[in-house]
Structure 1
Amino acid sequence: MNLEDLLKELQALIDKYSADDAEPTDEDAARMAELTKSINEIRAQQTATAQTRAATVAAARAAIENGTARRVDAVPLARSANVVGAGNAYDVTDYDAAATRAWVKDVAERAGVQLVEGYALTDAERAAQNHAMEQRAAFNHTTSNTDSVIPVELQNEIISLIDNTAVLWGDMPKQNFPHQFEIIRHKSIDAGDAAQTDEGAAPTDDEKNTFDTLKFEGVEIKKSLKMSRRMAVQSVASFQSYLVSEIAARLSVGCNAHAHARLDNESYGMEKTNKIQTSTANALTKADLAGLLSKLYTYGLSTPKGAIIYANNNVIWNYIAMLEDANGRSYFVDEKNADPSVEGHIFGKLVKRDDSIADGVIIAGYPDLFKGNVFDGPDVMPYIASDGTQNRCFDGYELIDCGLAVPKSFAQLTVKTA
């Protein structure tokens, strides 16, 4: 019987003898004593269970606040707090968001930016920050790599913005090796390329290739942004958005400029014979552009993006878009897509606007064969200017490098001026 049934039976016996104040029989008295004992035992058990549950929840909450609770969504909070008890409580705190808020508050405090919410960390933010520090310490202990100051979510957001605005740098595939390394470059097939043979016959000629190596040592890309003290009153969300967009905008300029410098470099970039000029001054012909594309080689390597044509806005609309056939129809197709840098197509190739390219220059190539690496960053370093301006300064930093795996995979066409 449950507690409710026991209480009903006991009350019925009490009511039976309460009307005439008669003494209960020995049998009813024994039953009343038995019922009273069972009721007291059940109530004592319920009280103990409630106290255990209260202790479990209190210990679990304390574990979250001091950062000792395990961050595993599927583990009951009682277990993560090392307390055995009834009931399941779960730690549903968004620690990634909390860690990001904690980092933004820390950057703002070090740069003297006033935040509407202030600098004080909540319990969840402090726990998330401690957990992130422990993760970085464990990672560094096993890999000897430097710790990542900026949260991964913000790093990825900055990288995405950089890739969307740094056209050539954004198109190339990139790795994240922390140490210097070398890539193998395929410079040419000198003899014995694949050829048809009779069934079961050996190749008629051995293939002879020229390879060399390219060392990636890393170059530092640094860009600063400043905000006046008058501007420096923001919410956490708006300040985070400001940092991400401004740092990405400035780093993208440096990364893309470095990519073009490497492309033009005799050791890291395109082969010297792949740099040509137009046939006539101040004009571009179909033959000139076809000659540019004819210079490109992949040597059978995978190039899923295909060949892409890059030029600045002036060259695209005053030269490339003006190419016409004998009937006056343009070869250039003004067709946009999700990539904001795409201006259209010509001869089946994408034409992208890249403001890092000089006037009168057209570059074509396979970006999949332009290999990049991000050794470190992007990172954000805050400080207050020491020149008396009271400007709040934020330095964006990346350690990167890049180079062509096939020197003939890119070519350059310059419009002659005379």
Structure 2
Amino acid sequence: MFKNREDYLNQREALVNKAQKLHDEGKYEDSMAIGSEIEKLDNDFENFAKSQANLKALEDNKVPVNLGNLSNNSLEGTVIDNLNNKEKEPEDKEPKDYVNAWAKDMLGLQMTNREKSAFNLVNNFTHTTANTGIVIPETVMSGIWKEIEEQYPLWNDVFKTYIKGKVTLLKSDTSSNAKWYDEETKLEDGKETFTEATLNGCELARCVTVSWKLKEMAIDEFIPFIQGQLSEKIGAALGYGVSHGRGTPGDSDDWKEEPTGIITVLNKAENASQVVKYSGAEPTYKQMTGAMAKIKGAYKNGAAIYANGTTIWNELANIVDSVGKPYFVANPIAGGVGTILGKIVKEDDSMLDGEILIGNPNRGYHANINKQVLLDSEDHKKERETDYLAYGIVDGNVRTPKAFALLKKIQSKDKQQ
């Protein structure tokens, strides 16, 4: 089925592109059905990779093995032992010893033979001459993503793909009205217009510095500690990127390439029609409904409201009707803190004070994760510290501004500068 890793990636990319095309055509059920094909392909390749790693380990160790007696105690802790105990480790998961092996590598501790086998098995098919980072365990990474999604729901809600290399997406601009015709009338050509945006990939690098004294903590303490630190730093970068990322720098700009944020796009002159400015202590109900009216009908279903805690509790929660009854209903459901205008209000730390974003990020924004997040470490002997560097490649851009509307306090821009 696979010649090598590149062959697998090509097959996977083809399926993802097929799913994306179906999604763009509005065939959402067919698009989701491709997900099971991608999952099976991933599982097949993981089994292929494990088999290759085991064969390589056998060749390197050059230990005579009685294949008729794989339960031999002399093989305890080796790759052969892992082959003999399939019930201990499901085939669709990384080896159960990898979490401990990874933590010991980060802390500079000695691994057991079993842990060494697990460590090599996972990382042998990840490293290249340009990549020496260590794969973060699935359980640790899932915990990191969970914390990021809770703190930055806007990032959690955007549409994501995991395609290696460049991704070109169509950005819808305008569309002609749909018409009905009788049998004798010639059909007119549609007048849809599109522009393209290319997601090249932006470097996501965040560093956590730990003193050697702190590194003396037990593994059970180290894992949640480093997980929390990475969640905070990676989450802040992703949240900022999807909301306020500056995109590709111009000739006179001095920043590195970043994802293009939703707020950045809405603040451009050509998208002024999607912005409602307010100057009071909080926006009025009429301004809220006016912003909602700016979102194209096709995107209203699934839209939510995003703001930071200060704006939610000092402004949104204080919008009242003529008898002083608040329109905001505090109710922690579906990842939000309440509802207003029938939409869930989500607290997102990437939003600035006085910014209220209404929109459908799953339909209006596309993020691509080119490279999984890896983690490497570097010791500094004089300072008696260790740097843990998380590295990945992510990019994103708005597909259509019509999926969003922004309420913005007039003074907020001045306060930022």
Fold match (TM-score > 0.5): yes
Equivalent pairs counted in the alignment come to: 326
Partners of 1:360 and 1:331 lie apart in 2 by 18
In the TM superposition, what are the counterparts of 1:149-298 in structure 2 within 5 Å? 149-189=135-175, 191=176, 193-198=177-182, 200=183, 205-261=188-244, 262-266=261-265, 272-278=271-277, 280-297=279-296
1:320 aligns with 2:316: yes
- Out of 317, 326, 330, which is 1:330 matched to? 326
1:332 CA displacement: 0.9
With over 3 angstroms needed to count, the CA separation of the structure-2 counterparts of 1:269 and 1:345, relative to structure 1, is farther
After superposition, give the CA deviation of every residue in 1:205-232 in whole Å (9 maximum; x if it has no partner): 4421110111101112222222222222
With over 3 angstroms needed to count, the CA separation of the structure-2 counterparts of 1:291 and 1:241, relative to structure 1, is same
Partners of 1:197 and 1:280 lie apart in 2 by 48
In the TM superposition, what are the counterparts of 1:5-404 in structure 2 within 5 Å? 57=69, 60-63=72-75, 65-68=77-80, 71=83, 77=84, 90-94=85-89, 96-109=95-108, 119-136=109-126, 149-189=135-175, 191=176, 193-198=177-182, 200=183, 205-261=188-244, 262-266=261-265, 272-278=271-277, 280-297=279-296, 300=298, 306-337=302-333, 339=335, 342-369=336-363, 370-385=365-380, 388-404=382-398
With over 3 angstroms needed to count, the CA separation of the structure-2 counterparts of 1:269 and 1:174, relative to structure 1, is farther
1:329 CA displacement: 1.9
With over 3 angstroms needed to count, the CA separation of the structure-2 counterparts of 1:235 and 1:207, relative to structure 1, is same
1:237 CA displacement: 2.2
1:201 CA displacement: 6.2
Please tell me the residue identity of whatever aligns with 1:385: H
Moved more, 313-322 or 58-67: 58-67
Root-mean-square deviation over aligned CA pairs? 3.2
1:389 CA displacement: 2.8
Please tell me the residue identity of whatever aligns with 1:391: E
1:182 CA displacement: 0.8
Residue 46 of structure 1 is matched in structure 2 by none
Moved more, 270-279 or 317-326: 270-279
Partners of 1:345 and 1:374 lie apart in 2 by 31
Gaps of 5+ in 2: 1-65, 245-260, 413-417
1:362 CA displacement: 1.2
Partners of 2:314 and 2:224 lie apart in 1 by 37
Please tell me the residue identity of whatever aligns with 2:327: Y
Please tell me the residue identity of whatever aligns with 2:95: D
1:133 CA displacement: 4.0
Please give the secondary structure, in 2, of the residue aligned with 1:265. Answer: helix
Is the 8 Å Cα contact of residues 263 and 269 (structure 1) preserved in structure 2? no
Identity among equivalent positions (%) equals: 22
After superposition, give the CA deviation of every residue in 1:175-207 in whole Å (9 maximum; x if it has no partner): 111111211111111x3x223455x56576442
1:56 CA displacement: 5.5
| Segments of 4+ moved more than 6 angstroms | 144-148, 267-270
Partners of 2:269 and 2:131 lie apart in 1 by 33
With over 3 angstroms needed to count, the CA separation of the structure-2 counterparts of 1:250 and 1:59, relative to structure 1, is same
Is the 8 Å Cα contact of residues 308 and 349 (structure 2) preserved in structure 1? yes
Please give the secondary structure, in 1, of the residue aligned with 2:337. Answer: strand
Please give the secondary structure, in 2, of the residue aligned with 1:376. Answer: strand
